[in-house]
Amino acid sequence: MRAHIRSIESAARRGQAMVEMAMVFPLLLIVAIGLVQFALYAHAENVVTGAVQDGARIAAEDGRSLPDGVATAQALLRAGLGGEASAITLQGREDQNVVVLQAQGRLRTIIPWVADASLPLSAQATMTKERFRAGGGP
């Protein structure tokens, strides 16, 4: 009789463990997907910021132009984001003293049940143009 009771208790424990796992697993899965999405977003934000900064730096160099900086930023975006780079638009403007390069776009999420969800990406960099003068004076 005691063996029979122990086997029932053991089966009840296994059943309880399965129910607990069935309840906890979806939550763990959601947390894991959220962490991966956060890491992807942080990476994309850093790529966009770095690309805009390097593009503005190139455009501000003596003898270089704004299209050179935009091309550099686009190449860096493609290298860092792959296919997602096409969702980022670059705009630049310059005057006599400064170059401003801006990027804006959206990063698609990896959440499978939200097809059109995306997160905003944007960055701006302003650089003073280089000017070299002969004679070392101001």
- Strand 98-108 versus strand 88-94 pairing type: antiparallel
| Sequence ranges of the domains in the chain | 2-128
Mean pLDDT, residues 112-118 taken together: 73
87-108 pLDDT per residue, tens: 999 999 999 899 999 999 999 8
Which position has the higher pLDDT, 49 or 11? 49
Can you say whether the dihedral through the CA atoms of 8, 11, 13, 16 is positive or negative?
A: negative
23-61 pLDDT per residue, tens: 899 999 989 988 999 999 999 999 999 999 999 999 999
Model pTM? Answer: 0.78
At residue 1, the pLDDT reads: 65
DSSP state of 113: T
> Does 78 score more than 60 pLDDT?
yes
The rounded distance, in Å, linking the Cα atoms of 6 and 19 is 20
